[in-house]
Amino acid sequence: MEYIELFFKSIFIDNMVFATFLGMCSYLAISKKVSTSVGMGAAVIFVLTVTVPLNWLLDQYILQEGALAWLGPEFAEYDLSFLSFIMFIATIATMVQLVEIIVEKFSPALYNSLGIFLPLIAVNCAILGGSLFMQSREIPSFGLAVTYGVGSGIGWFLAILAIAAIREKIRYSAVPPALRGLGITFIITGLMAIGFMSFGGMLTGGDEEKKDTKPEVEAKLELDKKKKEESAKIIAANNTINE
Amino acid sequence: MGILSKKDAALIKDPLFDNNPITIQVLGICSALAITAELKASIVMALSVLFVLGVGNVVISLMRNIIPSKIRIIVQLIVVASLVIIVDLVLKAFAYELSKTLSVFVGLIITNCIIMGRFEAFALGNGPWKSFLDGVGNALGYGVILVIVGFFRELLGSGTLLGFKVLGDPIEKTGLYAIGYENNGFMLLSPMALIVVGIIIWVQRSKNKTLIEEA
C-alpha cells in the first residue's frame, strides 16, 4: 500500500515540474515537439530510476551519520553527509555519460535531436533534486527509493508531454507577439501548476503525515492565519475588558 | 568604466538585459522560481550563485587546456559541487534559519543550468579574466530577475519587504489595510512565480522587439 501511495504521490502531488519546479530548463527548451519531448522524458525516467536507488545506497551505507558502522565500531562516529552533494552528482554524471553512449549507439536520430541537452541531463535539476529530496524526506527502504525514482520520473515525463502537446497546438492561436514562445509557455505552466495543486487533496483525510510534508509556503500561510486568529482573540479580549 | 575595455564591459552588461540568462537564454529557471517567495531568500540565492559562477568560471578557464573533453562534464560538476559545499557550510554557520528556508535549493545550485551553460559556452574557450567578467555578468542578470520576482511576490503576497511591513499592519488595519486592502496569499504559492516571470518576459520583449520569437 505504501508503495502505491508513494508512487502516485511522487507523480501527481509532488510533481517534479509543477510542485517543486525542478528540471525546468530542459522542460522549457525541449518541449517544442512531442516526439523529442518523449525521448527526453524517457531518458529522465531511466536516469532517475537508476540514480535514486544508487544514491539511496550511498546515503545509507556511506554518507549518513553512523552509516559507516558496518566497517567496524571505530568508524561509527563518522558523519560524511557534507559530502553528499559531490557523491550524488558524481554518480549522476557517470550514469548520464553511460546513457549518452547508449543512445548514441542505438538511436543516432534521437541523439541528434536531443543535441546539447543530453549532457545537460546531468545538470537537470530533476535528477539531483530527486536524490536530494530522497535524502531529506528520509525514504526508509530500497524498494521505496526505487518507487520514488520511477514515480518522479513519470511525473516529469507527464509534464513535458503535456506542455509539448499544448505548445504544438498553440501555434495556431493568436498569441500577443511579445508573449510568443517562452512567455506564453511560462504562463501556461503556471496555470497547469495551479491545476496540479488540486491533486494535493488526494491523499489528505486523516493522513497525519501529510502535515509534515506540506510545502513551507503553505505552512507559513497557516502560521500567519494562526497569528491573525491569536491577535484577533487578544484584541477581542482587550475590547471586553475595556467595555 | 576605466579599467574595463568596451568588450569587457559588454560581457557584464549584455547578460543583464538583452541576453539575460533567465528570460532569453532560458537557463537556471528552477531555483529562480522555487525560492522567490521572500526577497531575502532571493538575494541570498543571487549572491551564492554570484560566488559560485564567478569563481567556478575562473577555475574552469584556468583548467580548460588540461581537461579531456570526454570527461569535462564530471570535472565541471566536481568543481561546482566543491564550491557549493563551501556556500552551504557558510550559510549553515552564519544564517542557519535562512539555510533551512532554502533547503535543497542550495544544493541545486550545482545543477543550475546557468553555471554549466556558462562553463560550456564561455569558460572552456576564454581566458580567466574574461571568464570572470562573464560569470559575474550572468550571475547579476540572474540575480536581477530573482530580486524582481522576489520583490513582487513578497510585496503582494505578504505585504512586507525583507520582513518590514511596508504596507502597514494587516492585523491592526494600519496603512493600506485601513482602506480595505488585502494580501494576495496566492502570490506566495509557487505557480505565481511562473506567471510573474512570464509577465517580465512580456514586458521585456514588448520594449525590445528584436527579442520576439518567430511563431
Query: Is B43 inside any structural domain?
Result: yes
Rounded to 5 degrees, φ, ψ at A131 are -70, -40
Query: Is B182 inside any structural domain?
Result: yes
Nearest to B30 among A22, A82, A178 (CB): A22
Look at A93 and B73 and tell me if their CB atoms are within 8 Å.
Answer: yes
Contacts of A194 in chain B (CB under 8 A): 189, 191
- Find the mean pLDDT for residues B167-184: 72
Instruction: Grade residue A241 by pLDDT with cuts at 50, 70 and 90.
Output: low
The residues that bridge with B161 in the sheet, in sequence order, are: B164
Give residue-wise pLDDT tens across range A41-76: 888 888 888 888 888 888 888 877 777 777 777 777
For the CA atoms of B113, B148, A194, A127, the dihedral, rounded to the nearest 10 degrees, stands at 20
Predicted ipTM beyond 0.90: no
Coil, strand, or helix at residue B164? strand
- Find the mean pLDDT for residues A115-124: 64
- Taking CA–CA distances from A123, the nearest residue in chain B reads B111
Contacts of A136 in chain B (CB under 8 A): 103-104
pLDDT surpasses 60 at A202:
yes
**pTM of the entire structure?**
0.76
Q: What's the whole-number average pLDDT of chain A?
A: 78
Instruction: Out of A74-83, A201-210, B85-94, B99-108, pick the least confident.
Output: A201-210
Query: Is B118 inside any structural domain?
Result: yes
Look at A179 and B198 and tell me if their CB atoms are within 8 Å.
Answer: yes
Task: Specify the pLDDT at position A234.
Answer: 65
Coil, strand, or helix at residue A150? helix
Could you tell me which residue, B180 or A22, shows the higher pLDDT?
A22
Q: Note the residue count of chain B.
A: 215
Query: Is B134 inside any structural domain?
Result: yes
Query: Is B16 inside any structural domain?
Result: no
Instruction: Check CB contact of A226 with chain B, cutoff 8 Å.
Output: no
In DSSP notation, A52-72 reads: HHHHHHHIIIIISTTGGGGG-
Three cell numbers written together for B20: 539575460
What share of chain B in percent tops pLDDT 90? 0
Task: Specify the pLDDT at position A211.
Answer: 47
Give residue-wise pLDDT tens across range B11-30: 777 777 777 777 777 777 77
**Contact between B196 and A199 (Cβ < 8 Å):** no
Could you tell me which residue, B130 or B169, shows the higher pLDDT?
B130
Three cell numbers written together for A70: 558496518
Contacts of B163 in chain A (CB under 8 A): none
Instruction: Grade residue A122 by pLDDT with cuts at 50, 70 and 90.
Output: low
What share of chain A in percent tops pLDDT 70? 78
Instruction: Grade residue A117 by pLDDT with cuts at 50, 70 and 90.
Output: low
- Taking CA–CA distances from A82, the nearest residue in chain B reads B85
- Find the mean pLDDT for residues B103-124: 78
**B60 lies in which domain range?**
27-214
- Find the mean pLDDT for residues A136-156: 88
Look at B74 and A97 and tell me if their CB atoms are within 8 Å.
Answer: yes
> Which residues in chain B (1-30) have CB-CB distances under 8 A to chain A?
23, 26-30
> Which residues in chain B (160-199) have CB-CB distances under 8 A to chain A?
170-171, 185, 188-195, 197-199
> Which residues in chain A (167-186) have CB-CB distances under 8 A to chain B?
171, 175-186
Give residue-wise pLDDT tens across range A81-110: 778 778 888 888 888 778 778 878 887 877
Task: Specify the pLDDT at position A123.
Answer: 64
Query: Closest by alpha carbon to B114, among A120, A127, A92?
Result: A120
Give the residue extent of every domain in chain A.
Answer: 2-203, 204-243
Which of A126-130, A151-155, A171-175, B110-114 is predicted most confidently? A151-155
pLDDT surpasses 80 at A120:
no
Could you tell me which residue, B103 or B54, shows the higher pLDDT?
B54
A101: exposed, middle or buried (C-beta count within 10 Å: 0-12, 13-18, 19+)?
exposed
Give residue-wise pLDDT tens across range B117-166: 788 788 888 888 888 888 888 888 888 888 888 888 888 887 777 777 77
Nearest to B108 among A83, A125, A191 (CB): A125
**Contact between A10 and A151 (Cβ < 8 Å):** yes
**Contact between B160 and B204 (Cβ < 8 Å):** no
Look at A23 and B206 and tell me if their CB atoms are within 8 Å.
Answer: no
Instruction: Check CB contact of B34 with chain A, cutoff 8 Å.
Output: yes
Contacts of A85 in chain B (CB under 8 A): 81, 84-85, 88, 107, 110
Task: Specify the pLDDT at position A154.
Answer: 92
Could you tell me which residue, B81 or B163, shows the higher pLDDT?
B81
Q: How far is CA A104 from CA A20, A112, A113, in A?
A: 31, 8, 11
Task: Specify the pLDDT at position A210.
Answer: 46
Q: Which helix (H) or strand (E) holds B13?
A: helix B6-16
Instruction: Out of A232-241, B58-67, B111-120, pick the least confident.
Output: A232-241
Q: Checking phi first, is residue B165 left (phi over 0); if not, alpha (psi -120 to 50) or beta? A: beta
Q: How far is CA A66 from CA A47, A61, A72, A81, B207, in A?
A: 28, 9, 11, 10, 57
Instruction: Grade residue A228 by pLDDT with cuts at 50, 70 and 90.
Output: low
Domains contained in chain B, number: 1
Query: Is B12 inside any structural domain?
Result: no
Q: Checking phi first, is residue B180 left (phi over 0); if not, alpha (psi -120 to 50) or beta? A: left
- Find the mean pLDDT for residues A209-229: 58
Coil, strand, or helix at residue B161? strand
pLDDT surpasses 80 at A18:
yes
